[in-house]
Amino acid sequence: MELVRAARVAGNFCFVCLIALMVFVARADGGLAQERPGSLTLELKLEIEKPAVTLGEPVYATVRLINVGEMPVEVFKLLDPQTGALQIEVSSASKPRLVFLPLFYADAVRTRSALAPGKAVVAVFPIFYGALGWTFDRPGTYRVTAEYRPQAGAQRERIRSSAVGVTVTDENGIGASLLTGTVASEEAAKFLLWQRGDQLQAGQALLTNLLTQHPDSPVAEYAWLAFGRNLSRSFRNYAAGKIREADCEPALSYFQRIRSDRLPLFLQIQQRLDEARCFIKLSQPAKARDSMKRAEQLRDGRPEFNLAFQQAIRLEPALGHRLDIDPVSP
């Protein structure tokens, strides 16, 4: 009996030690909760601002990784398929499961930070074109899902969003004239994606033809924006071995043709920021201030757009100094 009682005491003592060790490890981790789907620590939300689009019209996704727990959680600071921290899946009748692959990956930006309870990491990015070509390549209904991947290969820790529907139509065959399966079609997609690229001559010609024949097409607004943003910035053409300086007057003429309300909010902000930069270059500070204020109004306290403001000021520091506007305040 004494041996049995001793064994029980020893067992209880080991159990208490184990609990103490677990508490010590948790505290040694800096008080950060771990990313486990079962613990309801993180929630991932996906939004497509324009769920009904024309064939060939760019599609942008917004993701929000929210800390719904009671402790800070260490998460990736940048949510983007290019970082590998996020995966986008698209399904349709013709493609039961398509994993969206970006044209490039940027592993260098996979940095983490603590996400406080109730706070979110938010990102906006295009998903209409990637390494596999046009994502929404024919009319129909698509379902888009996002998956957060805190650690590569750790399936148990992945967090998925609910599926979001995207409906694609092609009135008057406008999209079919853009998605031709040719080099020009691929270049046009890249020009719409990057909103720059002097070397993409065939793609620019295809978009110019679309603007001429279908100026009222929803794709036209994205094309005007791409042409304007391309000229608003200098461009190093490695193929030609020369640098083309920014040409702001024609850039502004492109911007003036855009019916901005047809664009996603993220692109409306980029348009106004580029207008402001061009007005600064043309020594028109009053107009620059007006464009910057319009961009601020569009942002309306949404932190996911702060990076666009930071990038604009990095390209044109005068936006942050002369205009007396805080570009990153929430």
pLDDT for 28 beyond 70: no
Residue 84 CA to residue 153 CA, distance in Å, equals 11
Range name among 4-8, 129-133, 257-261, 319-323 with the lowest pLDDT average: 4-8
CA 328-329-330 angle, 5° bins: 115
pLDDT band, residue 321 (cuts 50/70/90): low
User: What DSSP line would sit under 109-154, residue for residue?
Assistant: G--EEEEPTT-EEEEEEE-SEETTEESS-SSEEEEEEEEE-SSTT-
Please state which CATH number belongs to domain 173-321. 1.25.40
pLDDT above 90 covers a percentage of the chain that reads 61
In tens, the pLDDT along 41-96 reads 899 999 999 999 999 999 999 999 999 999 999 998 888 899 888 999 999 998 88
User: What are the two backbone dihedrals, phi and then psi, of residue 277, each rounded to the nearest 5 degrees?
Assistant: -60, -40
Residue 127 CA to residue 60 CA, distance in Å, equals 6
pLDDT band, residue 306 (cuts 50/70/90): confident
Residue 307 CA to residue 318 CA, distance in Å, equals 17
pLDDT band, residue 113 (cuts 50/70/90): confident
In tens, the pLDDT along 175-222 reads 999 999 999 999 999 999 999 999 999 999 999 999 999 999 999 999
pLDDT for 30 beyond 60: no
pLDDT at 109: 58
Residue 99 CA to residue 91 CA, distance in Å, equals 9
Q: Are 15 and 45 in contact, with CB atoms under 8 Å apart?
A: no
In tens, the pLDDT along 241-287 reads 888 999 999 999 999 999 999 999 999 999 999 999 999 999 999 99
Assigned superfamily of 37-169: Immunoglobulins (2.60.40.10)
Q: Phi/psi zone of residue 63: left (φ > 0), alpha (ψ -120 to 50 degrees), beta?
A: beta
Nearest to residue 100, comparing CAs of 137, 128, 59, 140? 128
Tell me the average pLDDT across 108-123.
85
Mean pLDDT, the chain, rounded, equals 83
Q: Rounded to two decimals, what is the model's pTM?
A: 0.81
CA distances from 19 to 27, 35, 39 (A): 12, 21, 19
- Beta bridge pairs of residue 120: 66
